[in-house]
Amino acid sequence: MIGTAYAQAAGAPAQGDTLMGLLPIILMFVILYFLMIRPQMKKAKEHKSMLDALQKGDEVVAVGIVGKITKIDDNYVGLEVADNVVIQVQKQAVNQLLPKGTIK
Cβ atoms of residues 86 and 80 within 8 Å: yes
pLDDT at 67: 96
44-82 residue pLDDT tens: 999 999 999 999 999 999 999 999 999 999 999 999 999
CA–CA separation, 92 and 82 (whole Å): 21
Q: What is the mean pLDDT of the chain?
A: 90
What ranges do the domains of the chain cover? Answer: 12-53, 56-104
CA–CA separation, 59 and 52 (whole Å): 15
**pTM (predicted TM-score):** 0.71
Q: What is the CATH number of domain 56-104?
A: 2.30.30.60
pLDDT at 10 over 80: no
| pLDDT, average across residues 32-43 | 96
Cβ atoms of residues 34 and 42 within 8 Å: no
Q: How confident is the model at residue 95 (pLDDT cuts 50, 70, 90)?
A: very high
* Strand boundaries in 38-93, DSSP class E: 59-62, 65-72, 76-82, 85-90
Q: How confident is the model at residue 14 (pLDDT cuts 50, 70, 90)?
A: low
